[in-house]
């Protein structure tokens, strides 16, 4: 391996590490003022939670938004294959297409995962 290539790789790694450190310090700085505001005015805290949900909906990818819309249309619950078929995917790829987006939505708390035996249904919260 050439030395110039090694140097380029090392520079890229250093930039990546510096970027990760600066991102973590920015997050830490943003959290501190938010906690102070919550401690001072608990009534404002309730009002800030509602816009946070709107921001979460806005920050979804188009695929996640499409999956969420389909889940909301089916109030009784729908399985991943049904979501994929409703989105216009092929029969063989429908379930796997929807699964990734459903996992992210479940982690964010927008969608509830209900498992009974081998069947899995998703409901909007």
pLDDT of amino acid 25:
56
pLDDT of amino acid 84:
92
Q: What is the pTM of this model?
A: 0.52
Using alpha carbons, select from 63, 103, 58 the residue that is nearest to residue 87.
Answer: 63
Tokens representing residue 26 in the block:
């920015």
DSSP 77: -
Confidence of residue 56 (pLDDT cuts 50, 70, 90): very low
Percent of the chain with pLDDT strictly greater than 70: 65
* DSSP per-residue letters across 18-38: HHHHHHHHHHHHHHHHHHHHH
pLDDT in tens, 22-51: 555 555 555 555 554 555 555 544 444 444
The domains of the chain, with CATH numbers, are 62-124 (1.10.10.10)
């Amino acid at each position: 391996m050439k030395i110039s290539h090694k140097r380029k790789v090392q520079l890229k790694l250093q930039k990546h590490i510096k970027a990760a450190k600066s991102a973590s310090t920015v997050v830490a700085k943003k959290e501190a003022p938010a906690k102070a505001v919550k401690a001072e005015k608990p009534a404002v805290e309730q009002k800030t939670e509602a816009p946070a949900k709107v921001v979460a909906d806005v920050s979804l990818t188009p695929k996640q938004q499409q999956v969420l819309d389909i889940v909301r249309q089916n109030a009784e619950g729908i399985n991943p294959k049904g979501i994929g078929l409703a989105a216009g995917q092929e029969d063989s790829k429908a379930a796997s297409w929807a699964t990734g987006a459903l996992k992210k939505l479940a982690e964010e708390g927008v969608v509830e995962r209900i498992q009974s035996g081998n069947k899995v249904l998703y409901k909007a919260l």
